[in-house]
Structure 1
Amino acid sequence: MALAAVPGIFVANSGVLPEYQSELPYSGYVKWYETAHIPDWMGAKPGAITAAWRYQSLDPNRELPFLVTYKYPDVAAQSAPEFMRVTLNHPSLPEGGPINKFIKIDILAGSHVETWRSGSTGDARGPLLVTETIQPAANTTKSFTDWYQSTYITELSLMDGWRRTSRFDVGGGKWFALHEFEQRAFEANTTRIGGLLGKRSEETREVERTATSVKLAIWELVRVYGDAKDSWGLPGTDSIL
């Protein structure tokens, strides 16, 4: 019997290395990525990726300002050999590439766990995104999940402009979340998020205090590829708050 498909995410966060920024200006990198690489990656294995969302960091000093999130209807497809054959060369790149000579890239991949959304939220993604990577204290998976589901998501939902939160298991005891917001949710000059968004409870402060690492960043949605309304989880499984 075939295993049921498990939806998942592939996240690529990248930027041009300082020593190559004169050879490959960021604008040139963006053009290559948006017009060549994303279409190549999405087309490598038909049906393996249904949508991609391209974000730009709001922090002008962020080392890796370029972010793409890809929706895989089945995470098993991420290991398909077709993706290994995607070219990293292009005439628009210095020396014709390969691109990995000129950039730094951080990658995360994992399975969808759960999504919550506001009752007034449609399927389109929010214009602002806060990414959150948490490595909680060792041996706290159950208590962490209980906190997330019973406390943290409530705190998030009370924030003005909150649209949707999707959580993913990216392995090694680490969790990754996408928090979508309306434009009004943050001040126009906000460029950096320092810690967990929900700080109304002692439980949240304790998770942040004891976690091995907590990383947050704020982004603006720039471009969508494929099905812009594709949900991260299985259809109809979002929890409505």
Structure 2
Amino acid sequence: MALSLTSPGIFSANSGVLPAYKDVLPYNTYVQWYENVHIPDWMGAKTGAITSAWRYQSLDPDSELPFLVTYRYPDISANSAPEFMNVTLNHPSLPEGGPINKFIKINVMSGPHVQTWRSGSTGDTRGPLLVTESIEPTGMTPDQFDEWYRDVYIYEVSLMEGWRRTSRFSNGMGSPKWFALHEFEESAVFEANTTGKISGLLGKSDETKEVEKAAKMVEIALWKLVRVYGDGAAAWGRPGEDHIL
């Protein structure tokens, strides 16, 4: 399955303050810098490169990386523009004035949009709850993984209470190969949701359990939407591409 790097895509940054620096950089200070300084700086680095961003907070109280922001690029190739290298990581609100990367751990993923499926009753705004899912499958060709995802897994996910939309992406930055954003209504119920943790893939069929068992890596996390920047109703793919279930 060929994917074009000129297609719309995502840049996802998941971060948190390192334990050794939590006294000098309280999480609330970090949030204020990130929401009010860094996200606007990143979105404004190159005109037209980013149209939207969504900021999420982990629902897992023990999360090492509780801060998540996802950016939509109309053309994912713009992510490599030199203007982004010039975004400053220093600011007076930070300890020692920065740079911020001294005090935090951050995991980033970026790549083209593969496909979005959504409920027929879903509006254009993002769901208030988000499940992020990263997977590095083994024992499957890319076409076999794609067939399982399109023909089996997405229908299992779509039957869950409160499901609104699922968008899948290819990660061009190494492992994991694939990641997805599953959006849900606030009424959604997840296994062990009282702890903010989800133990595995959302589907329960034998085929899905085999994919999970064989996978080199599966990571699932639960989030709430906190803040929207730019066009919050922008589709991840091109207009009219979403598949209605």
Q: Which of 203, 220, 235 pairs up with 1:198?
A: 203
Q: Which of 194, 209, 214 pairs up with 1:189?
A: 194
Q: Deviations over 1:152-191 (max 9, x none)?
A: 0100110010000000010347100000001111266241
Measured in 2, the distance between the counterparts of 1:130 and 1:209 equals: 20
SS in 1 for 2:126: coil
Q: Which of 198, 205, 213 pairs up with 2:217?
A: 213
- Where does the alignment leave 5 or more consecutive residues of structure 2 unmatched? none
What is the Cα deviation at residue 139 of structure 1?
4.5
Measured in 2, the distance between the counterparts of 1:26 and 1:6 equals: 35
Q: Deviations over 1:1-33 (max 9, x none)?
A: xx9931000000000011110000000000000
The answer to whether residue 229 in structure 2 is matched with residue 225 in structure 1 is yes
The answer to whether residue 184 in structure 2 is matched with residue 178 in structure 1 is no
The answer to whether residue 100 in structure 2 is matched with residue 91 in structure 1 is no
- Where does the alignment leave 5 or more consecutive residues of structure 1 unmatched? none
Identify the residue that residue 23 of structure 1 maps to in structure 2: 24
Measured in 2, the distance between the counterparts of 1:60 and 1:98 equals: 26
Measured in 2, the distance between the counterparts of 1:219 and 1:167 equals: 17
Measured in 2, the distance between the counterparts of 1:4 and 1:209 equals: 31
The answer to whether residue 40 in structure 2 is matched with residue 39 in structure 1 is yes
Measured in 2, the distance between the counterparts of 1:139 and 1:126 equals: 31
Measured in 2, the distance between the counterparts of 1:99 and 1:80 equals: 21
Identify the residue that residue 52 of structure 2 maps to in structure 1: 51
The answer to whether residue 131 in structure 2 is matched with residue 130 in structure 1 is yes
Tell me how many residue pairs correspond in the alignment: 238
What is the Cα deviation at residue 143 of structure 1?
1.2
Measured in 2, the distance between the counterparts of 1:110 and 1:232 equals: 12
Q: Which moved more, 1:30-39 or 1:129-138?
A: 129-138
Identify the residue that residue 165 of structure 2 maps to in structure 1: 164
Cα gap change, 1:31 to 1:4, in 2 (>3 Å): closer
Identify the residue that residue 239 of structure 2 maps to in structure 1: 235
Cα gap change, 1:69 to 1:4, in 2 (>3 Å): closer
Percent identity between matched residues is 68
